[in-house]
Each structure stands twice: as structure tokens, then as C-alpha cells.
Amino acid sequence: MIAVTTNTVKALRRMTNSATYPDAGLSIKKVDDRKYAMSIVPAPADSDVAVPGVNVYLDQQAAVALDDATLDAESEASLAKHFILR
């Protein structure tokens, strides 16, 4: 399962309104062999794989491809500047 850093958790909390949308989080979908699409969604799709303890959702292909990856966030003040897959 993809690892998620503390910076990512903090960034997602700042970017989502969990009071209105408690399941809002980051969706990661595999686009092609080395490309992924990331977007903020109000809830996961039924077929998404949820990362335990954090609102990060991966489609089936991304979950397999990113099994040993780490999702990190670089932030500036109160906003996420970049999400980084390593």
C-alpha cells in the first residue's frame, strides 16, 4: 500500500472541508504507464482503494502500480504547493 507522509495528511486537511464532506480527499488515477491524475473529490468512487487512516483514494490500477511508492506534500504557509510521488 502506498505510504503517505505527515505533510500530505496536513495538506489534505487544509484543502478539504471535512465538516461538510467527511470523506473528501485526494483521488489518484492511473492515466498511462508513467502518468497519474490527482484531484480533490468529495468522496471516493465505489471501486477505489482507500489508504487507511487518511482520505487518499486510488483506482485499482494506481493501487497496484504505486504499492511501494510514497506520497509526500511540499507546502508553503497554509497551502499545499506540490504533491510528490516517490
Run of H or E including 31: strand 25-32
Per the CB < 8 A criterion, the answer to whether 67 and 56 are in contact is no
Question: What's the pLDDT tens digit per position in 54-72?
Answer: 999 999 999 999 999 999 9
Mean pLDDT of the chain: 88
* Contact status, residue 17 vs residue 85, Cβ threshold 8 Å: no
pTM metric for this prediction = 0.86
Question: What would the CATH number be for the domain defined by 3-85?
Answer: 2.60.300.12
Tell me: pLDDT of 52 over 60: yes
Q: Is residue 20's pLDDT more than 60?
A: yes
